[in-house]
Structure 1
């Protein structure tokens, strides 16, 4: 006989409005409904996307619990959930993978048509499982990890090997994996190629590691913060540019000098700054350069069409092209093996 599942009271960080400081308050988390699980969060991490959502960009939904990077243990399961059980260690994901839709069967994309990203801050039945002071709380995507307990649709969680350090598992649920996956699945970086990474945060470091593992011979990192140089070099960066310290040259000109005047084969925009997108495109080689935008650039970003007329390619990505259930296990194995 299954145990009775009750509403839980716990602590969570609440976002009450644009740019307002988060406040830690007691909330109520309801039992999981059909096709849902309730998680006890073990670790959570911060992503630039959380900062953007806090500001209200695209969907100003408040009060809200932010956070979409995390790892947790299943505390209880709702009706119809048969592939997970209490005690499983899982990563919540902001995209799903049904395995059956046209996109999932394709090798071209990881954007599932049956289980897409959720932007309305509610569960599948358009209600919330969390509240504060009697007021409905909006989720972030299907996740909301800045809380001790959360409820997630089971189609958006991935069971993980518990041998992985769980603090590291949190970083795999978005930032690092987005960068790593972009080099691996989206760009398909080839051996001996040249790469430029704009922005050396968690996403950028992931792109550097992916490019190195795939055999890139030159990996140029670009960042305004010199403190990131040493860590990026440890993970495989070969050259570093701080645009603030360049005299009489642009960042693009510096990159072309480092690549025999041609530009890099691949560039990854990981900073989130709209003005950087065009630099990333112009830094690639004419005719075959590929730029991938990962940073969630602000809404007023503009793209120069002239830079693309020379045969360059610019594309966006979701989660670095990674399919949560098909691809994450191999990344987890690489982490366990310290690759």
Structure 2
């Protein structure tokens, strides 16, 4: 029987990022009890996402450290704070980096999945005071309000989705970021139509989920693009009809796409976070009605294109979390997985433990995995 820690500080293991571009350190941390409208959860499994690596290894924002990264996870409610009505201890849950309060003007609008309480895209390091995780007397930043590289964490009630008790947590954790981001980029943001032609740039977990979304939306031709041909067979499993390695061509990839499709694709989705590829994805679209969606994250360079690319009718847009409203979208996608309408298991190429997190980071850094899931705690 699990010991009741409600109202008490829990000491547990977490992978702490003390400094930019340094290996994570497994430390003993203290996780405070949940406060008003907060929930403390035991993290059972967490995916290692490119966004974690981006902020740990690339973006050079030192205001984020020391931090506990991790935001794609699943767990079990351990205790609830005052005023919490939606959750009870024992509930299976997925934490959300895109909260849904259901009360603000953004949540009430069908036009967006943003919430005024969300911080996605804003990383100024001002959230240390609200963190419930400390180590050696220092507060650790809770990355995106989640911090799933810890055995326990505390999140806001509005940033947590209750899921079906039958869901396997070591699988559905990937729905908390990659699946919703890629799949939703196709079905919600691009609004892919039956019979259309699509191009997906980048075949990591988000890109493969985007391929799956294009297929679910009824696209007749789905061109999967990556410089790593080892990903092509996996792309075909998710629905790709064509695979293209830009390194096999002497022409720029957008010209290759235009020639392959007699003028350009109806929809393109960029899933890498590379501003040059974002431009190529846009210019791969057909004039008149082509839509290009940016799903890959970066904030280090500006995007650019010639105005005529947009003046001739192409649309350039972006997506966070695939346009899914947090609580609603995650519950919906977990149900779709249990109903065998969405593939998740096929994305997971490696299973490791929290102690092996630096190995998992190395795998992703070198493109040797699609998604590694870490076992953090036993259920």
| 1:59 CA drift (Å) | 6.5
d(CA) in 2 for partners of 1:294, 1:59: 25
C-alpha deviations, 1:5-25, integer Å up to 9, x for none?
Answer: 211111111111111111111
2:174 to 156, 171, 174: 171
TM-score by length of 1: 0.94
C-alpha deviations, 1:142-164, integer Å up to 9, x for none?
Answer: 10000111111111000001222
The answer to whether the 8 A contact 1:67-1:144 is kept is yes
- Structure 2 equivalent of residue 275 of structure 1: 276
TM-score by length of 2: 0.84
Q: Which piece of structure 1 moves more, 55-64 or 143-152?
A: 55-64
- Structure 1 equivalent of residue 319 of structure 2: 317
C-alpha deviations, 1:296-319, integer Å up to 9, x for none?
Answer: 135124311333232211111111
Q: Which piece of structure 1 moves more, 303-312 or 217-226?
A: 303-312
- Structure 1 equivalent of residue 216 of structure 2: 213
The answer to whether the 8 A contact 1:18-1:54 is kept is yes
The answer to whether the 8 A contact 1:115-1:155 is kept is no
For residues 76-115 of structure 1, what are the structure 2 equivalents within 5 Å?
A: 76-115=79-118
| 1:274 CA drift (Å) | 1.8
What secondary structure does 2:147 align onto? coil
Q: Which piece of structure 1 moves more, 328-337 or 25-34?
A: 328-337
d(CA) in 1 for partners of 2:36, 2:60: 31
- Structure 1 equivalent of residue 35 of structure 2: 33
The answer to whether the 8 A contact 1:120-1:141 is kept is no
| 1:249 CA drift (Å) | 2.0
- Structure 1 equivalent of residue 357 of structure 2: none
C-alpha deviations, 1:10-67, integer Å up to 9, x for none?
Answer: 1111111111111111111111111111111000001111112213455632110001
d(CA) in 1 for partners of 2:144, 2:84: 20
| 1:116 CA drift (Å) | 4.9
Gapped regions of structure 1 (runs ≥ 5):
none
d(CA) in 2 for partners of 1:151, 1:11: 14
**Structure 1's 57 and 312: CA in aligned 2 closer, same or farther, altered over 3 A?**
farther
**Structure 1's 151 and 132: CA in aligned 2 closer, same or farther, altered over 3 A?**
same
d(CA) in 2 for partners of 1:235, 1:90: 26
- Structure 2 equivalent of residue 250 of structure 1: 252
- Structure 2 equivalent of residue 236 of structure 1: 239
The answer to whether the 8 A contact 1:220-1:238 is kept is yes
Gapped regions of structure 2 (runs ≥ 5):
342-379
d(CA) in 2 for partners of 1:121, 1:71: 25
Residue 309 of structure 2 corresponds to residue 299 of structure 1: no
What secondary structure does 1:141 align onto? helix
RMSD over equivalenced CA pairs, Å: 1.8
What secondary structure does 1:277 align onto? helix
- Structure 2 equivalent of residue 70 of structure 1: 73
2:144 to 113, 124, 141: 141
C-alpha deviations, 1:68-124, integer Å up to 9, x for none?
Answer: 10001011111111211111110000111122332222221111124554745566x
